[in-house]
Amino acid sequence: MKHNSDFKYDLEVGRVAERILEKLLENKTIEVKRDLQAITTGNIYVEYESRDKPSGLAHTKADYYCYFITDGRMFLIETEELKELCRKYIGTDRDRRGGDSDTSKGILLPLTDLIK
């Protein structure tokens, strides 16, 4: 986008983005997670099984996932896209046990995968 130092122009560009987000999320469900270790580890933990039953990403009905990685930073991603990103790590060293007493399974998904 070409740089423009006109406040009114910038304001309208921002409003267009707000309307896009509003329309995108209208009547959608969002699963919200908080992974404050992600900023240090460079990964989020995406659970898909708990106590030998599908859970988390494998069980969700949400349209989107939102991961807070600090109190002010978050990633919003379509659930299907998150599933696609995680699939390539099933059965690798990023497919890990975790959660309470290691009773869950999940993927250590690099934050860089979310940015691409």
| Domain boundary assignment for the chain | 29-115
The pLDDT value given to residue 14 = 80
Which tokens in the block code for residue 40? 């240090």
What is the model's pLDDT at position 24? 84
Its pTM stands at: 0.83
> What Rg, from alpha-carbon coordinates, does the chain have?
17
- Which residue in 65, 74, 55, 57 sits closest to 31, CA to CA? 65
Q: With beta carbons less than 8 A apart as the criterion, state whether 13 and 47 touch.
A: no
pLDDT in tens, the chain (116 residues): 555 566 676 777 788 888 988 998 899 999 999 998 999 999 999 999 999 999 999 999 999 999 999 988 999 999 999 999 999 999 999 999 998 899 999 999 999 999 88
